[in-house]
Structure 1
Amino acid sequence: MNNSITNRVIDYFSKERFYIGVSLLRIVFGLLILYFYLIHYNQRHFLFSDYGINTFHNVMKPTTYSLYNVTSSLNYFDAVYHVGIMSAILFTLGFKGRLMGILNYVLFYSLYVRFSYIGDGGDNLMIITLFYLLFANTTKYFSIDAVLRKKETYVSDCKKTIANIIQYFVVLFCVMQVCIVYVTSAIYQIMGETWNNGTALYYISQVKTVAMPFLESLVTQHIYLSVVICYSSVLLKIAFPFLIINKKTRWLAVLMVCLLHLGIAFGMGLYSFSIVMIAIELVIFTDKEYNRIFSTYQQLKHNLNWLVRKKLMRKFQAHWKMTVYYDAWCPLCTKTKKRIERADWLNLIVFESFRDGTSSIIDEVDIEELEKRMHGKTLEKSIVSGADTFIEISKRVIPLWVLYMILLLAKLFHVSDRIYDLIASKRKIIPHGQCNHGACGLNQQQRKG
C-alpha cells in the first residue's frame, strides 16, 4: 500500500508540465536585465562605481557581496559590467543554460546590491526568482540549447524523472513567492486607514513624483471607480493563491492581476515592476495549457487568413492589381513571366499576351510599341512601359523588393530605360507555328523590346 502511494506521488511530480512557461520567463527576465544594463550604460560610473554617488566604499561595502567590490579600478568595473551584458544576452538566447544562468545571476546580483536604492521593487522579486531558476531547465524551449539538444545522446528515464521533479518544485517556489508578495501586500493595505476607507488611490494620484497624468485624471473624474479599484485590488491579492489552484478560475485570476499591474505601470510609471510581476505569472500555466493556447492561436490565424483572403484581399487586389502585356513569341519574355508568377504570392500580376487577337491593349498602344517594350496597366498610373513596367511589377512582388530599390535608383540616374533596352535588344522572336519537330525558325531581326 505504501509503495503504491509513493509511486503515485512520484508519478504526479515527475510529469513533464512546466517547461514552456519557465522558458518564456527566462526570455522576459533576460531582456529586462539587458535593459537595466543598457539604460544605465552612460551613467554606470556615476551610479555604481566607487567614484560615483554610492557610499559602498565607506559604509556598506564591507557587508555586501559583489564582484564590483573586489577593487576600485574603473577598468575592472567596466570589464565586469560588459561581461554582465554579454551574459544577459546569452541567457536570453538560451545558450549554455546552466552556466549562463549562474553567471547572469552572480553578475546581476553584484550590480543589484549597488543600485537597489534606485529600483522600483520588481528587481527584488526578480533576484529571488532568478535564484530559483538556477535549479530549473530554462532552455528546453525557444533557445539555442533546444536546437543543439536535438543532436545529443539518449537521456535515461531516471534523469528525466529527477529533472521533472526539480522543475516542478522550482515553479512551486516561484508561485509561492508571488503569493507571499500579494498576501503580505494585502495585509499591510488592510492595516492602512486610506485603504480601509477607499481613498488610497486618490492620495497616490496627488503625489506628483509617483502618479502619472493618466491616474490623476482617472481618480479626479471617476472618484467612485477609484474606491472600487482600491477594495478590488485588496480582495484580488488575498484571493489570488486560492484562485490559481482551480483550473477554471486560474485564467480569471491571472487576467485580473495582469490588468492590475498594467494599471500600476501606466498609472504610477512602475514599468519594470509590472513587467516582472506579469512575467512570473507565465510559470503558472502548464505545457499542456500553452499547447492549447497555441492551437487556438493557429485556428484563429487560419480563420483570420480566410477573412483576409475573402474580404480584405479583394479590396487590396482591386487597388494594386496590374495587367502586364508580354510577347508570347519571345522565349525570354515567357520565362520571365513564369518566374514572376511563381514569386507573385499576393496574385497581383495578371499576364496577357498582346499577340492574342482579343487583347484590349492593341486599341490603346500601337503594335510596334508593344514589340519594342513590355507594357503594363495599373490603376494608379494607367499605362506604363519598359523599365517602368518592371518597377511597378517589383513593387507588387515581395521577393522583388530589393530589385525595386535598385530600379528606383537606376531611374533616379536616368539609366533604367537604357539598361532595359540593352537587355531587350538581345532577345529573339519565334513566331507562332514556326517550330516543327523540335526545331524553330528564329526571326533574326532584333527588336528593342
Structure 2
Amino acid sequence: MLRSPGRLSGIVTDRPVSLHAAAVLRIGYGLLYLAFLLREFPHRDEIWGPGSPWTPALARQLFDQTGWFSVLTLSDGQVYFEFCYATALVTSVLFMIGWRTRAVSILFAALVASFHARAIFMTDGGDNLILLMVLYLCFTACGRRWSLDARRARLRASPEQVDSPSSSPGPSNLRHQLLPAQRLLSTALHNCAMFVIAAQVCIVYGSAGLYKVQGGSWENGTALHYVVNLDLFRPWPALSLMVDSHPLLIAVATYMTVLLQVAFPFVLFSRLKYIVLTMLLGMHLGIAFLMGLPLFSGAMIVADAVFLPDRVYQLPGAWWRRTFRPAGAGGAGGWRRAGNSAAPPQPGSVLAYEGDCGFGRATTDRISRRAAPQIDAVP
C-alpha cells in the first residue's frame, strides 16, 4: 500500500501516453472546425457578424451576466469581423498540421471560445464538445506526432547538433539544467489532460444514457420514432420516412443507444470496448445523416479516438514498412514490394531504440538506410 502513491506518480510522470491519440484529436478537431467555418462562410455575418439578429450589444449584455468574453465583440465593424474570421480559418489549418502547436493551440482555443460565446444561441450545439476538447488539448503534447513540429524535431536531431553539456555557467547551461524539470512538467500535464479528456467522454456518454433511462419514450422504445419525425432533424424526409416505416428497427436502435451509452464507461478496460466503439461509430454516422448533425457526430467520433491505444494507430505504418522496403544498392532506386525481391533479405540483427527520443530516431534512420535489410529497427 505504501508504494501506491509512487506507482501512481510514475504513471503520470514517466512518459507521455497516447501521443498518437492526441495527434488524432488535434487533426480531427482542427479539420472539423475548419470545415464548420467554411460551411458557414456564406452565412458568417448572420451568425457571428454585425448583421446577426443576436447583435453584439445583446452579446455584451449576456457576457455581463455570464462572465463570458469574445474577441468578436471588441468592435462592431465589418472589417474587424472579417479579419477575425480569416484568422480563425488560418489558425484552424495551422493547428491541424501542427505548426508551433503549443502557441497555436492556445490561440485556437481562444478563437473557438470567442466564436462559441458570440453566437451561443445560433449554432446546433455540436461545437460545445469541440470547445471543451480544444481547451484540454492546450495542456497536451499533441504536436509530437504527425505534425510539422515533429518533422522539425527529427531534422534537428542530428549527431552534429548533440554536444556535451557546457561546464561554463551561462544561459545555455541553465537551460540544460532546466530541461529535466521542463520535460517532467510537460509529461505530467499531458498525461493528466489526456485522462481528463477520457473522463469527459465517459461523462458525456454516461449522463446521456442515464437521462434517457428516465424517459418513458426511451423505455418503451419509441423515442427515435419521434426524433425522425421532427422537422428540425429531417434533412432528407424520404430517408426518415423509410427508417420510420420499420418499427422493429426503431425499437432496437432505441434500446441499443441507451445500452451503449450506459455501458460505455464500464467496458473501457476490456476488449469489449472495440466492439462498443465500432457500434458507437455507426450510431454517430446515423445521427449525422438522419438528423443532419455532422458537427456533433464528428466531434464525438474524434473524441472516441482517445480510447484507442497507440499501437492501433501505428499498424498502418508497420504494415507499410513490412510491405515496402527501400530498394537495395543494386536496384533501380525508389520503393519495391518486399515480396517481389529476387533475393529475399536474410534475417539479421534487431536494433531497439527509444521511440520518444528524437536523436535516437534520427540516428536509427541513418543506420537503417545504410544497413537495411540486415538490421531491423524496432522502437
Structure 2 length-normalised TM? 0.73
Letter in 1 for 2:83: A
Match in the other structure for 1:389: none
* 1:113 partnered with 2:99: no
* Cα contact 2:23–2:142 (8 A) shared by 1: yes
Q: Distance in 2 between matches of 1:342 and 1:133?
A: 41
Q: Distance in 2 between matches of 1:223 and 1:297?
A: 45
Q: Indicate the larger mover: 8-17 or 259-268.
A: 8-17
Match in the other structure for 1:238: 262
* 1:73 partnered with 2:83: no
Q: Which of residues 186, 211, 219 in structure 1 aligns to 2:244?
A: 219
Aligned length: 303
Q: Distance in 2 between matches of 1:253 and 1:163?
A: 32
Q: Is the alpha carbon distance of 1:298 and 1:197 closer, same or farther for their aligned partners in structure 2, counting shifts above 3 Å?
A: farther
Q: Is the alpha carbon distance of 1:91 and 1:342 closer, same or farther for their aligned partners in structure 2, counting shifts above 3 Å?
A: closer
Match in the other structure for 1:87: 91
Shift of 1:259: 1.1
Match in the other structure for 1:281: 304
Match in the other structure for 2:26: 26
- 1:376-391 equivalences under 5 Å are none
Larger relative contact order, structure 1 or 2 (CA cutoff 8 Å, min sep 6) = 2
Q: Is the alpha carbon distance of 1:298 and 1:253 closer, same or farther for their aligned partners in structure 2, counting shifts above 3 Å?
A: farther
Match in the other structure for 1:173: 196
Q: Is the alpha carbon distance of 1:146 and 1:33 closer, same or farther for their aligned partners in structure 2, counting shifts above 3 Å?
A: same
Structure (1 or 2) with the larger CA radius of gyration? 1
Q: Distance in 2 between matches of 1:205 and 1:83?
A: 38
Q: Distance in 2 between matches of 1:260 and 1:297?
A: 31
Letter in 1 for 2:62: M
Shift of 1:17: 2.4
* Cα contact 1:254–1:281 (8 A) shared by 2: yes
Letter in 2 for 1:181: V
Shift of 1:245: 2.2
* Long gaps (5+) in structure 1: 303-340, 346-449
Shift of 1:122: 2.1
Match in the other structure for 2:15: 15
* Long gaps (5+) in structure 2: 163-175, 325-331, 337-379
Match in the other structure for 1:262: 285
Q: Distance in 2 between matches of 1:224 and 1:101?
A: 46
Q: Distance in 1 between matches of 2:301 and 2:192?
A: 20
Q: Is the alpha carbon distance of 1:73 and 1:55 closer, same or farther for their aligned partners in structure 2, counting shifts above 3 Å?
A: closer
Q: Distance in 2 between matches of 1:60 and 1:189?
A: 31
* 1:48 partnered with 2:48: yes
Percentage of matched positions with identical amino acids: 27
Q: Distance in 1 between matches of 2:295 and 2:308?
A: 22
Aligned-residue CA RMSD in angstroms? 2.6
* Cα contact 2:229–2:240 (8 A) shared by 1: no
- 1:17-416 equivalences under 5 Å are 17-58=17-58, 59-60=61-62, 62-63=64-65, 64-150=68-154, 151=156, 156-211=179-234, 212=236, 213-220=238-245, 222-246=246-270, 248-292=271-315, 294-295=317-318
Letter in 1 for 2:105: G
Structure 1 length-normalised TM? 0.62
Q: Is the alpha carbon distance of 1:121 and 1:297 closer, same or farther for their aligned partners in structure 2, counting shifts above 3 Å?
A: farther
Match in the other structure for 1:329: none
